[in-house]
A and B are shown apart, each in its own frame.
Chain A
Amino acid sequence: MSMINNILLKALVCISIIIIMTGVMTSCKTERLKIQPESVKDITGTWKVVKAVRNGSAIFNADGLNVNYGVDYAGFRVNFNSDKTFKLSNNIPFVQNSNGTFSLDNQDYTTLITLKGEGEVPVTANFNYPFAVGKRQLIINFNSGCFRNTYQYTLEKTTE
């Protein structure tokens, strides 16, 4: 019976701690975040893939061995033009497979890019625009049409 008492004592300690913690956690004031306006995103230019990830595993990395097993990531280019058209060359699986028009969902806090290939249904993809390794990068997330198969391409501007 002393063991049962011991257990009940431990349970009592626990319940006391929970009550105290609840008090502590609910006593905090909500602090409102001050929102800083973001810079306007200008993605015009020619972009190449520097990294491709499929379902969480890298399948291409320009900094790595740059091995081509049959899909030419290194040769792929996408041009985003100031007239809101885009042009693909040396196609690889992408948000769209034919040239068309694009839009960003709004100039502040852009997280979505919509690409509409000619004669295609527009497809919206998640989009990040970090400043990394001294360069702007464009990171696009999309799926292949099967929600289970996700791709993330990291693009950098190129003059090649």
Chain B
Amino acid sequence: MIVSKIKIKGKKLYLLAATVIIGLVIQSCFEQPVIVEMPASVKAGENFTIKVKTSLLEVTAPKAGQPRMIIGFLAPKAWDIRKNAVITYESDYDGLGVTQTMTIVPDDQRATVGAEFVDEYANLSWPEVMLKRSGLGGNLKPDVEWVAFWSKPYTVFKGMISNPINVTINVKAGPQNTLVKLGVVVSLTLNTITDGNVNPYKNVFSECFEVTNGTRPLVDFCNPQLTATVPIQGTADDVITIDYDLNIRPVPQLIGTNVYLNARAVTVDDVRINSTSRPLFTRFTDKTGRIEFWPRQLFKLGKGTQLSHIEYFLTNAATATPGEPAVGPNPNDLTEPFFYKIGCE
């Protein structure tokens, strides 16, 4: 039995005692979910299907409450999963072949957590718990989100022991070319976040999934980029730092030479404001360097100018020169600039 493995030590006495008491009431755990079916890519705006298999093990009927199964799905925010995904499942409990459709967990629903995690996860919504516990699933940019779905409430889950649960996620890809790792969480609304063997919280992530034939620029969550910006998103009144690293993608024209920033700001009305100067990166090595700028100053912005984003290239020319390299994020499309979003989401 699981509780017999716990060694009680000094300060943890309270927490462990509380955990043991709750542990006697409910024990449940999901088998590690597996993605059993998923395409490698899809065209922008088209629907595709992900099939995930799991099972619920070691269930003792709870004394109170009507547990629901939780499925979390991680995808780019731009896909608007709340509107563009349908999640269904079938299990032995309802009878295999009987499809149940899940609904979105209401925003004000707080996640249930095991006693030893109460401090860490108190009063969080399900998507917040998923972000904290599963993170971004290896995606390198934060513009992805967890959306939580749940099943109907069950009187008891007893009877589901070791039986399969087949989850089907049907989702419409967003309009933009994208490389992203999608994620799935399976959980329960009872005593959900506990440790060790009593752990009805599991996650699984896909390989890098591609959306093709869509709009530019390519949003690449999977691969480290030639340039990295801090903060990730900002306003015209932030100090923006850009680092470049030619170890990630060697560009011969930029190695061991002066590298300049060729930038333009684009307003919300789609007006392009070219920077009159090309700031010089401070070089750390032949392949790395850094620049900082204040957009309001670099683009000489007036008070009321509202920016949508900043586009930039790296170049080795201090002024506009015919034939100069314009290095962006996509080695296969030299007209595509790096993209820095102005905003505060």
Which A residues form the contact surface with B (CB < 8 A)?
3, 7, 10-11, 13-14, 17-18, 52, 54-55, 59, 67, 69-71, 91-93, 97, 119-120, 144-149, 151
Contact = CB atoms under 8 A, between A and B. Distances in A.
Contacts of B20: 7, 10-11
B268 interface: no
Contact of A59 (B8, B241, B291): B241
B234 A146 contact: yes
Interface in B13-71: 13-14, 17-18, 20-21, 24
Contacts of A11: 17, 20-21
A71 B17 contact: no
A118 B338 CA distance: 35
7 contacts: A7-B24, A13-B13, A13-B17, A14-B14, A69-B292, A146-B234, A149-B238
A45 B280 CA distance: 34
B14 A93 contact: no
Interface of B: 1, 3-4, 8, 13-14, 17-18, 20-21, 24, 230-231, 233-239, 241, 279, 282, 290-294, 296-297, 303, 343-344
Contacts of A149: 231, 234-235, 238, 344
Contacts of A119: 303
Contact of A147 (B24, B238, B343, B344): B344
B17 A69 contact: no
A8 to B, nearest CB: 9
Contacts of A146: 233-235, 238, 343-344
A11 B236 CA distance: 58
Most buried by B among A59, A67, A71, A151: A71
B237 A3 contact: no
- Name B's interface SS: mixed
Given A71-B294, A92-B294, A148 B17 contact: no
B292 A59 contact: yes
A71 B239 contact: yes
Contacts, number: 83
Contact of B291 (A14, A69, A97, A148): A69
A148 B24 CA distance: 43
Contacts of A145: 235-237, 344
B44 to A, nearest CB: 29
B231 A10 contact: no
Given A17-B14, A145-B236, 20 more contacts: A10-B8, A10-B13, A11-B21, A14-B14, A55-B231, A59-B239, A67-B282, A69-B292, A70-B282, A71-B293, A92-B294, A93-B239, A93-B296, A97-B296, A120-B303, A144-B235, A144-B237, A145-B237, A149-B235, A149-B344
Contacts of B8: 10
Contact of A144 (B18, B238, B291): B238
A97 B233 CA distance: 21
A153 to B, nearest CB: 11
B3 A7 contact: yes
A118 to B, nearest CB: 11
B340 to A, nearest CB: 13
Given A10-B17, A146-B234, A71 B292 contact: yes
Most buried by A among B1, B17, B279: B17
A3 B8 CA distance: 13
B234 A144 contact: yes
A70 B279 CA distance: 7
The 4 closest A-B pairs by CB, nearest first: A146-B344, A14-B17, A69-B292, A144-B238
Nearest to A71: B292
B294 A54 contact: no
Contacts of B279: 70
A33 B279 CA distance: 55
A17 B20 CA distance: 17
A147 B333 CA distance: 35
Contacts of B238: 54, 93, 144, 146, 149
B231 A69 contact: no
A144 B303 CA distance: 14
